[in-house]
């Protein structure tokens, strides 16, 4: 695909997914979207068919082989097409980012972290971490993303894993009145300085208001490693990324789960 989105591809071919993996300026929180609290009833038949035709069901190459996801892979047409030919908003949901992989692996390996608890998956994307929370026994889950197509993809991914779809909120949750959650999880969200500052303040308020536990997944992006939030983090676990994920993420080799303790 052409570099119309302003990304560099790590290979000679400039596929949509490969461009996105180099991105440092995602717009995951645009304004003006309506909240989406349902799930299956919002699956537009035409868009559902488009997603099924242009993604591949895969569970390989990630830290969570027990979770199946619809993703863009080299066997998908739009991996190689020009970016402007993709007819919807940029498909960040079609990437299983390394921070999300680490969070999902941790929840699957440590179900007591979520069992019987309420969980907010902020910037859910493909929904893998919310799915991991559901598999591990969370009592209430809300997946949040601003892209309605992501919401549809999350619903499809729930079905792939034989789970009843959970509620999905399509809105900038940072602009809403905070709700009480036992756990907030967010992966790969500290890619932009302004967004990182907003997240930091929102998470601090969430922690001090409701004593919510916050887990953050990140593979060591400079916007996260150099942010002041580092003073309030406790390392929980670090995972070595599988080779396919390393290749698609500019050679990043590990991804870490952090406990936010302001």
Instruction: Split the chain (262 residues) into runs of 10 and give each run's mean pLDDT.
Output: 27 37 32 39 78 92 97 84 79 93 98 98 97 98 94 95 94 92 96 92 96 97 94 97 91 96 94
122 within domain boundaries? yes
83 within domain boundaries? yes
Task: Please report the sign of the dihedral spanned by the C-alpha atoms of residue 147, residue 193, residue 249, residue 87.
Answer: positive
144 within domain boundaries? yes
21 within domain boundaries? no
Q: Classify 220 in phi/psi space as left (phi over 0), alpha (psi -120 to 50) or beta.
A: left
183 in Cβ contact with 257 (< 8 Å): no
Q: Which domain holds residue 250?
A: 45-260
* Predicted local distance difference test score (pLDDT) of residue 10: 30
* Predicted local distance difference test score (pLDDT) of residue 192: 87
pTM exceeds cut of 0.75: yes
State the CB neighbour count (10 A cutoff) for residue 118.
18
218 within domain boundaries? yes
State the total domains in the chain: 1
**Cross-strand pairs, 121:** 143, 185
3 within domain boundaries? no
4 within domain boundaries? no
137 within domain boundaries? yes
* Predicted local distance difference test score (pLDDT) of residue 42: 54
The enclosing domain of 147 has a CATH number of: 3.40.50.150
* Predicted local distance difference test score (pLDDT) of residue 8: 27
């Amino acid at each position: 695909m052409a570099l119309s989105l302003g990304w560099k591809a790590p290979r000679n071919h400039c596929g949509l997914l490969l461009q996105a993996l180099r991105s440092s300026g995602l717009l995951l929180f645009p304004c003006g979207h309506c909240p989406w609290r349902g799930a299956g009833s919002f699956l537009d038949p035409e868009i559902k068919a488009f997603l099924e035709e242009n993604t591949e069901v895969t569970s390989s190459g990630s830290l969570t082989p027990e979770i199946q996801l619809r993703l863009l892979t080299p066997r998908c047409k739009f991996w190689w097409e020009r970016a402007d030919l993709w007819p919807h908003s940029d498909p960040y949901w079609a990437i299983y980012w390394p921070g999300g992989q680490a969070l999902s692996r941790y929840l699957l390996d440590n179900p007591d972290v979520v069992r019987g608890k309420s969980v907010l998956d902020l910037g859910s994307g493909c929904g893998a971490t919310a799915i991991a929370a559901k598999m591990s026994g969370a009592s209430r889950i809300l997946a949040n993303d601003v892209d309605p197509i992501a919401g549809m993809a999350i619903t499809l991914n729930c079905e792939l894993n034989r789970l009843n779809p959970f509620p999905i909120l399509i809105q900038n949750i940072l602009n809403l009145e905070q709700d009480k959650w036992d756990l907030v999880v967010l992966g790969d969200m500290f890619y932009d300085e302004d967004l990182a500052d907003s997240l930091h303040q929102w998470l601090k308020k969430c922690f001090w208001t409701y004593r919510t536990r916050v887990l953050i997944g990140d593979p060591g992006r400079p916007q996260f490693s150099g942010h002041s939030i580092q003073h309030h983090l406790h390392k929980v676990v670090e995972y070595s990324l599988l080779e396919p994920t390393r290749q698609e993420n500019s050679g990043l080799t590990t991804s870490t789960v952090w406990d936010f303790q302001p």
